[in-house]
């Protein structure tokens, strides 16, 4: 931490001299924008929408696009991407979501970290080694000039991972003049946040280089989350009660006992302790009382650095993203230990980009070469109840990509965009939880082997592999007033996942100067993540009753069979009426349909002949394979309290052709600015109503059952977002963000009606008071969750080991000061 602050001081201090320049005294006064933090106004100069592969302004595009400005990011104290998205219509966020994702968001029924494409300056940032883009204060949010959000499938332009939409973070650049700014925030739980952003121009005439450098550091000692005594959600016996009204336990006397919720008490287990002798091996590391765990301080850490150099048609940029989040956010205290504050999960992402822009008459070209280098933080580990040792993680990936995008501006009414991409990937999926750290030196970039072996599990869970993917697309925009049509098509082929063809068509009809209609139909695909193909969680538990003193518990095994991409299609229709230049009403209807979804299922261990032998040997068809783990008793994950260790089932990912999802939604958006002009009163908001259905496959004791539910899991039926802001006393500005969500179903589902599958409805109020003392100095105070509401966010793992809902931050205060030099 000290080194970071020293680096910051040394970097920023030379630019204090430039602060005397008159250029730095110029500052754009804050403009109160439309939908809270959303600006859909048409500027005098057309705004380039990089996330839509178009040079049109947001209002001219036939798809839903929102643009968040730099002024709003600073004024409203946004630090993370989910801060920005929290009040964008129809988007639901989780802060925190879980260890793997950090913070998360849902965009039109899909997990945005996984199903939405996230870019920095038009270039991908998500590594292949992560199941989704991890989000924290690890992205250049406060350094952004704007953030572009496009809704709906965009695989026709961007290929994989663009199913829910595209989010493009455009960083500030000294194209016209230099700048330096910095801010600091402090808050609840010992929160400390420091941020800087500087840009200069060097040279004269045609030989001018624009250089920008930025960074930030977040450190929170204790996130203000509920503890066990505050929330029934942490009752550790919920893990069993979610499976039904009773717990069925086979005891050492050979009998099966049905234990109801009313019977669960410490005295009951003391009385019949001899029946459940096997439990002592499972709770060897548990801390807490009979019902609730001991919960430690849960910290949060994030650092990001960035640099960009532009010289004539060329640019080079570098981004470092690092974050650490508490590993056991949102998971059951029956299984996972909550008493260790050092149990953290994180990663380093290094991104290098070299690009060039060429313009010649009607032709414009952008070529970029990028490398995304991902390594899990070597100190990432999980604390569990069944083992006193720390269980470490390891994962890695490298993505080397070349992308070409071209535009032919044939006329003012007709243009063609097209291009292609090629990516070569080497990935080491997340390894087994093990008390031994992985040897970092045993894996090299783009390697397909590693010589490292665990003491007991050997090479089990270490499966590095490589693959490549190539794609090409074309998109045409034709404006024959009053109708604008956009049509595109993309073809992708992956050496690992096969081919995919995805079209999209959209139109915008300007019926009158105030009223327009737009409609679109798009298709997208989502390739399996490497961690889904080879996801492995297998642990060696000491047990003196087992052969060789260990039980090998297979919690999750690699895919049994072949995985294929998920396919998504979506339809959208929007009606917009402009009351004047700044006020409007909009009605949007859309539907999303998902085919061949990927999900975890249960496999009977003794039925998987090419994987497991009934005597506990994990094996492949190759007798000389390093994957064999002989000599130990092996079990699955079911019947954890079974004294005879007869745990028959384990988890694996599959594509389920019988499963499908359909989401239908209607969204009303209203923006009313300057209702009372002297105080610039603005009221804006949205109401999203969603219905749908899912056909799910449930595996009950290995038997497949198909069931249908009349809702989409993870999506509230009603989501209302209203923002009110106004000025007073000339320098002060107050903003109130109100969110109401109806109850939300968990992703994990067993086909029974159970209260443990539902997160309750909630109301959330955030307040921001900002002050602009001078053109250079501003401050803000932010209170999130003013009413101290106990409510849930997205699931941590989407498995039965999750809490029945994932508790979110309670009332939290943040104070910040920003200075422009």
pLDDT of residue 618: 45
Confidence of residue 49 (pLDDT cuts 50, 70, 90): low
Does a cis peptide bond (omega within 30 degrees of 0) precede residue 482? yes
- Quote the CA–CA distance of 345 and 381 in Å, as a whole number: 6
How would residue 696 be classed by pLDDT, with cut points 50, 70 and 90? confident
**What pLDDT band is residue 608 in, cutting at 50, 70 and 90?**
low
CA–CA separation, 71 vs 421, rounded Å? Answer: 34
Cβ neighbours of 316 (radius 10 Å):
13
Contacts of 277 (CB under 8 A, 6+ apart): 252, 643
Q: What is the pLDDT of residue 272?
A: 57
Interval 205-261: pLDDT, tens = 888 999 999 999 999 999 999 987 667 889 888 887 777 666 666 666 677 777 666
- Given this model, what pLDDT does residue 22 score? 35
Give the model's confidence band at 713: pLDDT under 50 very low, under 70 low, under 90 confident, else very high: very high
* Average of per-residue pLDDT across 79-98: 95
CA 61, chain centre distance (Å): 26
Half-sphere exposure of 115 (CA within 13 A, CB side): 25
40, 13 Cβ separation under 8 angstroms? no
Range of weakest confidence among 141-155, 310-324, 453-467, 537-551: 537-551
End-to-end CA distance of the chain: 24
Q: What percent of the chain has pLDDT over 90?
A: 55
Q: What is the pTM of this model?
A: 0.89
pLDDT at 748 over 60: yes
pLDDT surpassing 80 at residue 786? yes
Highest mean pLDDT pick, 19-28, 30-39, 53-62, 383-392: 383-392
Pairwise CA distance, residues 670 & 682, whole Å: 11
> d(Cα 381, Cα 371) in Å, to the nearest integer?
27
Integer Cα distance of 639 and 495 in angstroms: 40
All residues at 6 or more sequence positions from 63 whose CB lies less than 8 Å from its CB, including other chains: 52, 150, 151, 152, 486, 506, 518, 520, 572
Q: Say if residue 617's pLDDT is above 50.
A: no
291 secondary structure, DSSP code: S
Question: How confident is the model over 552-575, as a mean pLDDT?
Answer: 86
Whether the per-residue pLDDT at 79 is higher than 60: the answer is yes
Check residues 165 and 611 and name the one with the higher pLDDT. 165
- Average pLDDT of the chain, as a whole number: 83
* pLDDT of 741: 97
Q: Which pLDDT score, from 0 to 100, does residue 432 have?
A: 75
Residues contacting residue 6 through CB under 8 Å, at least 6 positions apart: none
Q: Within a 13 Å sphere around the CA of 612, how many CA atoms are in the beta-carbon half?
A: 24
């Amino acid at each position: 931490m000290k080194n970071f602050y020293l680096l910051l001081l040394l970097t920023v201090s030379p630019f204090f001299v430039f602060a005397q320049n008159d250029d730095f005294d110029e500052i754009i006064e804050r403009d109160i924008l439309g939908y809270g933090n959303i600006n859909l106004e048409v500027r005098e100069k057309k705004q380039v929408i990089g996330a839509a592969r178009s040079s049109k302004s947001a209002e001219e595009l036939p798809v839903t696009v929102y643009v968040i400005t730099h002024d709003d990011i600073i004024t409203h104290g946004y630090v993370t991407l989910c801060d920005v998205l929290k009040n964008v219509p129809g988007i639901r966020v989780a802060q925190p979501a879980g260890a793997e994702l950090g913070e998360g968001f849902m965009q039109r029924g899909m997990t945005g970290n996984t199903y939405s494409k996230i870019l920095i300056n038009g270039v991908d940032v998500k590594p292949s080694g992560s199941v989704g883009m991890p989000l924290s204060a690890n992205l250049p949010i406060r350094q952004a000039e704007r953030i572009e959000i496009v809704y709906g499938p965009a695989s026709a332009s961007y290929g994989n991972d663009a199913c829910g939409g595209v989010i493009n973070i455009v960083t500030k650049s000294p194209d016209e003049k230099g700048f330096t700014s910095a801010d600091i925030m402090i808050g609840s739980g010992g929160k400390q946040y420091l941020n800087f952003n500087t840009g200069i121009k060097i040279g004269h005439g045609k030989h001018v280089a624009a250089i920008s450098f930025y960074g930030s550091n977040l450190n929170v000692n204790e996130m203000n989350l509920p503890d066990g005594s505050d929330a029934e959600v942490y009752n550790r016996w919920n893990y069993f009660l979610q499976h039904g009204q009773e717990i069925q336990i086979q005891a050492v006397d050979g009998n099966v006992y049905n234990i109801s919720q009313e019977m669960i008490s410490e005295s009951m287990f003391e009385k019949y302790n001899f029946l459940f002798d096997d439990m002592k091996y499972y709770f060897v590391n548990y801390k807490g009382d009979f019902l609730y765990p001991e919960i430690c301080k849960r910290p949060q850490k994030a650092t990001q650095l960035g640099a960009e150099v532009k010289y004539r048609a060329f640019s080079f940029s570098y981004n470092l993203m690092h974050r650490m989040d508490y590993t056991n956010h949102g998971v059951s205290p029956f299984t996972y230990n909550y008493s260790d504050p050092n149990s953290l999960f994180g990663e380093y992402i290094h991104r290098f980009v070299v690009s060039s822009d060429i313009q010649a008459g009607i032709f414009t070209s952008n070529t970029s070469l990028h490398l995304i280098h991902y390594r899990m933080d070597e100190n990432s580990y999980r604390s569990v109840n069944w083992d006193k040792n720390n269980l470490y993680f390891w994962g890695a990936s490298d993505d080397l990509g070349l992308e070409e995008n071209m535009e032919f501006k044939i006329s003012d009414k007709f243009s063609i965009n097209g291009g292609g991409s090629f990516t070569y990937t080497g990935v080491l999926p997340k390894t087994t939880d093990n008390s031994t750290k992985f040897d970092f030196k045993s894996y090299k970039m783009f390697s397909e082997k590693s010589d490292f072996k665990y003491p007991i599990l050997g090479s089990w869970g270490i499966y590095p592999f490589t693959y490549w993917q190539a794609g090409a697309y074309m998109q045409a925009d034709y404006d024959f007033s009053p109708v604008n049509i956009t049509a595109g098509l993309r073809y992708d082929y992956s050496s690992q996942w096969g081919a995919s063809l995805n079209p999209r068509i959209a139109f915008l009809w300007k019926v009158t100067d105030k009223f327009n209609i737009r409609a679109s139909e798009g298709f997208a695909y989502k390739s399996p993540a490497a961690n889904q193909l080879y996801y492995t969680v297998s642990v060696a538990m000491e047990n003196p009753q087992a052969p060789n003193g260990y039980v090998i518990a297979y919690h999750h095994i690699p895919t049994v069979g072949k995985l294929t991409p998920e396919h998504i299609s979506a339809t959208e229709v929007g009606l917009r009426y402009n009351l004047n230049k700044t006020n409007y009403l909009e009605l949007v209807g859309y539907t999303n349909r998902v085919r061949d979804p990927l999900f975890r299922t249960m496999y009977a261990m003794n039925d998987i002949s090419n994987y497991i032998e009934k005597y506990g040997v994990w094996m492949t068809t190759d007798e000389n394979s390093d994957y064999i783990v002989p000599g130990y008793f092996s079990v699955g994950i079911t019947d954890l309290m079974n004294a005879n260790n007869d745990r028959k089932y384990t988890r694996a990912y599959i594509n389920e052709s019988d499963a499908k999802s359909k989401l239908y939604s209607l969204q009303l958006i209203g923006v009313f600015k300057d209702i009372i002009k002297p105080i610039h009163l603005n009221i804006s908001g949205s109401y999203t109503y969603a219905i749908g259905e899912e056909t799910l496959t449930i595996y009950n004791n290995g038997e497949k059952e198909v069931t249908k539910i009349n809702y989409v899991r993870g999506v509230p039926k009603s989501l209302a977002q209203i923002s009110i802001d106004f000025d007073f006393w000339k320098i002060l500005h107050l903003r109130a963000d109100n969110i109401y969500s109806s109850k939300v179903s968990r992703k994990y589902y067993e086909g029974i009606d159970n209260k443990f599958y539902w997160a309750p409805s909630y109301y959330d109020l955030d307040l921001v008071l900002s002050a602009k003392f001078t053109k250079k100095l501003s401050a803000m105070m932010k209170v999130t969750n003013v009413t101290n509401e106990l409510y849930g966010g997205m699931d941590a793992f989407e498995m039965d080991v999750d809490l029945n809902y994932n508790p979110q931050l309670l009332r939290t205060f943040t104070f910040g000061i920003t200075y422009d030099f």
